[in-house]
């Protein structure tokens, strides 16, 4: 859901859930130019739906905008709304990517969810809308696989 009144420039509480969170979009000032934008959220948290324990991870969102950009304050509030939300890593990652793709209609979008170990096993989740445009510099997400104490 996109908000009718932008959240930027006013006090807005953290939404109680992702369903209650709104995402704002703004016009892309360079819609004719192909470029990649990246958001890194290094302190993503959610709740395990089985144990109720917190899960921690890094989310990295890359996208090639079309007509719209995501407004970063609304994105931060949306991602923070997961901190009391019970969902598996796969659900969190794919839901976030799909919601952004639906809102923005980008040329391309990918999301990587790099989660800390749960039960001794890290879980990484990756989703994208399709093939990346050939004429855009798409960099590696640069997050190393989990190595423990290695």
Enclosing H/E stretch for 98? helix 89-104
Report the distance separating Cα 112 and Cα 129, nearest Å.
12
Burial call 72-85: b when 16+ CB within 10 Å, e when fewer:
eebbebbbbbbeeb
Given the residues 24, 55, 62, 92, select the one marked as catalytic: 55
Q: Name 98's Cβ contacts closer than 8 Å, sequence gap at least 6.
A: 127
Q: Is residue 55 annotated as part of the catalytic site, yes or no?
A: yes
Query: Is 48 assigned a catalytic role?
Result: yes
Provide the 8-state DSSP code for 101. Answer: H
Task: Write down the catalytic residue from 48, 102, 124, 140.
Answer: 48
Answer for the pair 126, 145: CB distance below 8 angstroms, yes or no: no
Give the CA-trace dihedral at 31, 75, 55, 94, to 10 degrees.
Answer: -40
Q: State the catalytic residues.
A: 48, 55
């Amino acid at each position: 859901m996109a908000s009718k009144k932008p959240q930027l420039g006013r006090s807005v509480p953290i939404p109680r859930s992702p369903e209650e969170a709104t995402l704002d979009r703004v016009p892309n000032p360079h819609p004719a130019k192909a470029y990649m934008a990246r958001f890194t959220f290094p302190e993503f948290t959610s709740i395990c739906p089985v144990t109720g324990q917190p899960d921690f991870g890094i989310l990295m969102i890359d996208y090639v905008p079309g007509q719209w950009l995501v407004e970063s304050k609304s994105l931060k509030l949306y991602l923070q709304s997961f901190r009391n939300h019970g969902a598996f890593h796969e659900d969190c990652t794919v839901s976030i990517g799909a919601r952004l793709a639906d809102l923005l209609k980008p040329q391309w979008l990918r999301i990587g969810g790099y989660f800390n170990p749960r039960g001794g096993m890290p879980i990484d989740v990756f989703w994208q809308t399709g093939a990346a445009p050939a004429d855009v510099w798409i960099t590696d997400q640069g997050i190393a696989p989990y190595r423990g104490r290695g």
